Structure 1
């Protein structure tokens, strides 16, 4: 399914820590022109008309992972301006944190997109300085490094 990127989209994304608190869940996306190794993206999706961003993250996580969010906490809003295969995209992203119940498997987990496609998920370390695959939205990535990694054991 092609995504219309001709307008600014309102999104919600979740930083979902692992049971041990040293990793967080991301979707694993295919290589693109800009990212030949692929890229990681926080879990989440679009806010629908008439829906609050809090309602949207709860719905998205349920639809994509079949999970509910415990201790859901709003963190901040970030702006994501990017290119995907040469096409400009622009998103305003409400960023949340929370624990998943049930948590996806340590390896081999997937999520289901609204178009029925299945996307792998992985547990990315909070301290990702040695990870070559970029995390998007990049502004959220910078925030994770400066705030959440400070709380690791």
Structure 2
């Protein structure tokens, strides 16, 4: 990839747990976690993108989205270099039933399916899987902030 991609991700929290999708990088032979979200389409705001992505992937509507962080992320996935600007939101689900489900089936627009699950800090640590984008860990369990933070997250493993 030779262009910078804009993405929107959303953190959903409940009872000291955060909803994360489990994914796999075949080139690194590595499982990892990431928040739900995806690319921002041309003409779409980051809030519109996160609303669309959550609806497309897990068929849920969100409410009260709040921008908490904007990250610049240089990374590699499946042997390809990537560069993205990531808008990270905090939000809640409209349907409270979703908070009772331990596993949530998700599906990417390309047809790739995944499982998202509610994970505590301890459960994430036990798996030893990284959480991407790198640097987002500090936001996983923090309460909503009234301040937006800008940060970079560069993968030094190139």
- Short-chain TM bin: 0.7 to 0.9
Deviant stretches of 4+, over 6 Å: none
2:13 to 14, 17, 38: 17
Give the match's secondary structure for 1:109: strand
The offset of 1:67, in angstroms, is: 0.7
Which of 110-119 and 51-60 deviates more? 110-119
- Structure 2 residues not aligned, in runs of 5+: 144-158
Structure 1's 85 and 117: CA in aligned 2 closer, same or farther, altered over 3 A? closer
8 Å contact 1:79–1:139 — kept in the other structure?
no
Aligned to 1:121: 116
- Structure 1 residues not aligned, in runs of 5+: 149-153
Which structure has greater strand proportion?
Answer: 2
The offset of 1:124, in angstroms, is: 2.2
User: What are the residue-to-residue correspondences of 1:10-49 with 2, within 5 Å?
Assistant: 10-18=6-14, 20=15, 22-34=16-28, 36-49=29-42
Structure 1's 114 and 51: CA in aligned 2 closer, same or farther, altered over 3 A? same
2:71 to 70, 75, 78: 78
Q: Deviations over 1:108-129 (max 9, x none)?
A: 3211111122111122224544
RMSD, aligned CA: 2.1
Aligned to 1:139: 135
How many aligned positions are there? 141
TM-score, length-normalised on structure 1? 0.81
